Structure 1
Amino acid sequence: MIQIDSSLEGKEFALFELERLLKPKGFVIGGNWDYDHGAFDYKMANDEGYQFLRIPFTAVSGQLDVKGTTVKIGKPYVLHHVYQGGIAPTAQVSNATAGINQFQEPQDKDGSVAQQYIELGTELVREVENTLLTTS
């Protein structure tokens, strides 16, 4: 994981507004959100694993699944998830369980990040800063 300094850190936004502005740029709310925190993820590549720019946020008012929630932006970072090849040895292969048990744990949740993805992540953060700080 490589952290990227950003003028967004500590700023508060309506979650709805962040979604409206960031989703068209390719960001999605990552799957491991909870009621009080989450992150916008941008998949930069699928090169020997997945390279993401992640912009974390925490709820300041409301919960993430409630309309009108305000969130505070954390420090953005680039991460590299290295996935194992093949089928997990514990995977259950049947029609009933295929949608549940098809994925393995990453081989390395925090693999080393190539310089090109650090640079791309930094460029993306600057683009997001420009979008959010000139719009609000």
Structure 2
Amino acid sequence: MNLENTGIEEKTVNIKPLDRLMGHHAFIRAGQWDYERVTYDYKIGSKENNITYYIRIQGYAIEGDVDLGNAVIQLKTPLLGKHYYPHGVEYGEEENFPENLVDRAHSLVTRVKEAIDQQEK
């Protein structure tokens, strides 16, 4: 599910401050990157059997190189996904997400956006 109108879409941030900022908000990049793209995930546990939710914020380098740590990242529309063990994460619009989870996801992404805004000042 796309998390529309969060304000984070199209933000551009240098990779090193972005990594620090995202880690501060519990969004983990781990090994999810290549030379041009990054993916940050926030894991949300569930009482449902074998279900975990993820908020995913992706971005791509508009200049520089992620591996070298000199990239400028442009962020994309965040996603809310549901992980079905052992099949993987589904982001499709046909997925049903509890309203309180969607609200929480928007709130978490908004906090990240506000932190990016503060960094820009």
TM-score for both structures, normalised by structure 2: 0.82
| 1:121 matched residue in structure 2 | 105
What amino acid maps onto 2:60 in structure 1?
T
| 2:78 matched residue in structure 1 | 76
Counterpart CA distance in 1 for 2:109 and 2:69 is 26
Counterpart CA distance in 1 for 2:52 and 2:4 is 18
The structure with the largest alpha-carbon Rg is 1
Contact 1:30-1:38 within 8 A present in 2 as well: no
Q: 1:31 to 1:113 in 2, by over 3 A?
A: farther
| 1:98 matched residue in structure 2 | none
Contact 2:2-2:79 within 8 A present in 1 as well: yes
| 2:114 matched residue in structure 1 | 130
Structure 2 stretches of 5 or more lacking a match?
Answer: none
Structure 1 stretches of 5 or more lacking a match?
Answer: 85-104
TM-score for both structures, normalised by structure 1: 0.74
Aligned-pair identity in percent equals 23
- Return structure 1 stretches of 4+ with deviation > 6 angstroms: none
| 1:54 matched residue in structure 2 | 56
Give the Å deviation of 1:30: 5.4
What amino acid maps onto 1:130 in structure 2?
E
**Alpha-carbon RMSD:** 1.9
Higher RCO by CA contacts (8 Å cutoff, separation 6 or greater): 2
| 1:87 matched residue in structure 2 | none
